[in-house]
Amino acid sequence: MIIDWIGPRVPGLGNHPVKRVVGDRVTVETDLLADGHDQLAGVVRYRRRLSGEEWREVPLEATDNDRFRATFVVDAIGSWEYTVRAWVDVWASFLWGLRRKLEAKQGIELELQDGALLAAAAAQRAAGQDRKALEDVAARLRDRGDPARRVEEVLRADVGSLMRAHSDRTTATTHDPPLEITVDPLIARFGSWYELFPRSTGPSGTHGTFKDAEAVLPYIAEMGFSIVYLPPIHPIGKTHRKGIDNRLTASAGDPGSPWAIGSTEGGHRDIHPDLGTAEDFRRFVRAARELKLAVALDIALQASPDHPWVTEHPEWFVHRADGSIQFAENPPKKYQDIYPFDFAGKSWESLWLALRDIFFHWIGEGIRIFRVDNPHTKSLRFWEWCIRTIKARHPEVIFLAEAFTRPKLMYTLAKLGFSQSYTYFTWRTTKSEIVEYVRSLTAGDLPEFFRPNFWPNTPDILPEHLQYGTRATFIVRATLAATLSPSYGIYGPAFELGERAAREGAEEYASNEKYQLRTWDLSRPDSLRPVLRRLNEIRRDNVALQRVEGTFFHSTDNDQLLAYSRTSEDGANTVLCVVNLDPHHRHQGWISLDLKRLGVAEGSSFQVHDLMSDARFLWRERRAFVSLDPAVMPVHVFRVRRRVRSEHNFEYYL
């Protein structure tokens, strides 16, 4: 007997864990090849890793083409493991032959005697009542009485259970080593992120503090976001500090980039004094938690020339021919305000420990979500070790990779442990681009380990279509992000306030908060706040939007109309979105609906309930007409309501 394949698994050479969130079902599939006509039995064994728990078992069931399947639920956060154990089921093999002979009306006296031997052997492996029962079965099969009655005996369900319970597993094959599953909290897959610069929350013109930022939390929570993510909160270097608009030299009042970490006031474990104290930060985190907002911190593993480690640990940096420390480069770009760490240097061990301690420090301060800056320019092996060892102690911690890089490198970071990743969504704007990209994210085994996070904008990226778009563009981008990916985020308030001024010739914000304080009028009447609130509500109410899989694109006869449905794992919840991708013109056209994908029977009428406008339409045909005016609302987000009959025989749409 051969175990030829087991999944879910991560493709590639690394035997990396697949990812799930707590409460998920894990459906294991395996190809088991038997010798000849042998019938096989087997189980999936699973347990939490390193827990000392006994294996739990769930029986494998044959599907077709030598494939077997079993499902179990991962009901706790942490590292799990599973494997397949299978063996020849002698009793099932015996019954298989017996049934075929009975059908052909052949004599089966000798077969019944063979069955008696099998029952007697099983009795030897059993004890107590079971042993007695199996001995009785053997005796009844042995006696030369009415064959029909004895056949009945053989086929009895309780005899089958007994034989199964005491089958001979001494020749069982177990796949070793087991496969790993990382079970995360739900927020690793499903979350609405809001990026906020706390220093821009101060009274007009002054440097904001955590206390000021605290006052903005209800605003964010009321919009329905679940995560507030802060750029680095550490002291900022002065040497080669960048001025406003990324100028090479800073003026006296320029606050510098938060990513140039470290000054005489401290490093990665310290808080910028202008933001407040450690206690202020803790208060901020507590206040967020009371509003059901998780706080995510940005960890950028690099140092400004003023970082205390530059003098305390020069061995952690690369030195050049003239003795100077190598600053960051992406030739020909130079970042003199930033020193990268030497992950492969002679002192890598002490460096790696110190870097990991940064995470442990902030975990100690109550942080469970880290957005990691440019992980692909650090060391892949470092991340593998760092994340694995942190999650061994704190399995609830999650890591978002800010890796806008080559696809395989993004996937590798996910394989090595990152819980989720930024994506190319930011630049996918046409119908064919969006369809192709979303399909690629659910192709093959990718969803087993790579969880996308869709961002319409970031402080680094103000894409062209937002610069030249309209209010409708912002609504469309938010809707696409919020409904095509279970995790999405915006950099606010720039996003909801429709900020679109770009630095000349760049996909970057003018007057970028990375280099200066900004003051935002959160109460502006044209704010997209109500749209975002509605989208986040819809996400919370519709589980179809809380997973990566389950997207289907319906064809439309207009290239500016994108239609897709999202369906929950159990099929009960279906959301249908129609988006006008052109921010300037009204578009109308026909959608060819795949009714099966909507869970609707051919010929049956169904309701599409626009959760944005609360309008309801009664549809029946496979073809539906849609008209969307960007000046009014460029999207429909329909809940598909199927006709059901109440117990009082009243029909309604659920």
Total Cβ atoms within 10 A of residue 251:
10
Label the pairing between strands 616-619 and 339-340: unpaired
Label the pairing between strands 333-335 and 651-653: unpaired
59 forms part of the interface with a copy of itself (CB under 8 A):
no
Q: Considering the candidates 89, 214, 402, 508, report the single residue annotated as catalytic.
A: 402
Identify whether the C-beta of residue 146 lies closer than 8 Å to the C-beta of residue 154: no
Encoded tokens for 554: 């319906």
Question: What is the identity of the amino acid at 323?
Answer: G
Q: Which helix (H) or strand (E) holds 651?
A: strand 651-653
CB of residue 321 to a copy of itself, shortest distance in Å: 3
Choosing from 39, 336, 377, 588, the residue that interacts with a copy of itself (CB under 8 A) is 377
378 forms part of the interface with a copy of itself (CB under 8 A):
yes
409 forms part of the interface with a copy of itself (CB under 8 A):
yes
13 forms part of the interface with a copy of itself (CB under 8 A):
yes
307 forms part of the interface with a copy of itself (CB under 8 A):
no
Q: Find the part of the chain contacting a copy of itself (CB under 8 A) among 114-122, 182-190, 536-544, 569-577.
A: 114-122
Distance CA 53, CA 46 (A): 10
Identify whether the C-beta of residue 210 lies closer than 8 Å to the C-beta of residue 198: yes
Choosing from 209, 379, 536, 551, the residue that interacts with a copy of itself (CB under 8 A) is 379
Encoded tokens for 261: 């970490």
4 forms part of the interface with a copy of itself (CB under 8 A):
yes
- DSSP-assigned letters across all residues of 195-244: E--GGG-SSTTSPP-HHHHHHHHHHHHHTT-SEEEE---S-B--TT---G
Q: Which residue is it, tokens 């239609």? A: 563
Buried b (16+ CB within 10 A) or exposed e, 258-285: bbbbbbebbbbebbbebbbeeebbeebb
Q: Which of residues 152-191 bind a copy of itself (CB under 8 A)?
A: 171, 175
CB of residue 493 to a copy of itself, shortest distance in Å: 33
Identify whether the C-beta of residue 256 lies closer than 8 Å to the C-beta of residue 515: yes
Q: Which residue is it, tokens 């992000």? A: 481
Identify whether the C-beta of residue 28 lies closer than 8 Å to the C-beta of residue 69: yes
Choosing from 189, 199, 415, 587, the residue that interacts with a copy of itself (CB under 8 A) is 415
Please say if 402 is a catalytic residue: yes
Distance CA 374, CA 301 (A): 9
Which residue's CB is nearer to a copy of itself, number 94 or number 495? 94
37 forms part of the interface with a copy of itself (CB under 8 A):
yes
Which residue's CB is nearer to a copy of itself, number 292 or number 406? 406
Encoded tokens for 242: 């960048």
Distance CA 622, CA 626 (A): 13
421 forms part of the interface with a copy of itself (CB under 8 A):
no
344 forms part of the interface with a copy of itself (CB under 8 A):
yes
330 forms part of the interface with a copy of itself (CB under 8 A):
yes
644 forms part of the interface with a copy of itself (CB under 8 A):
no
Choosing from 128, 177, 203, 331, the residue that interacts with a copy of itself (CB under 8 A) is 331
Identify whether the C-beta of residue 200 lies closer than 8 Å to the C-beta of residue 517: yes
Q: Find the part of the chain contacting a copy of itself (CB under 8 A) among 34-42, 304-312, 350-358, 424-432.
A: 34-42
Please say if 158 is a catalytic residue: no
What is the contact mask toward a copy of itself in residues 204 to 243, using x (rule: CB under 8 A)?
----------------------------------------
601 forms part of the interface with a copy of itself (CB under 8 A):
no
Total Cβ atoms within 10 A of residue 331:
5
Q: Considering the candidates 337, 373, 448, 582, report the single residue annotated as catalytic.
A: 373
Q: Which of residues 244-303 bind a copy of itself (CB under 8 A)?
A: none
Size of the site for a copy of itself (CB under 8 A): 56
Best CA proximity match to 287, nearest among 217, 349, 335: 217
106 forms part of the interface with a copy of itself (CB under 8 A):
yes
Q: Which residues are catalytic?
A: 373, 402
Name the residues that contact a copy of itself, by CB under 8 A: 1-6, 11-14, 31, 33, 35-37, 65-66, 88, 96-97, 100-101, 103-104, 106, 110, 113-114, 116-117, 171, 175, 320-322, 324, 329-332, 340, 343-344, 376-381, 406-409, 412, 415-416
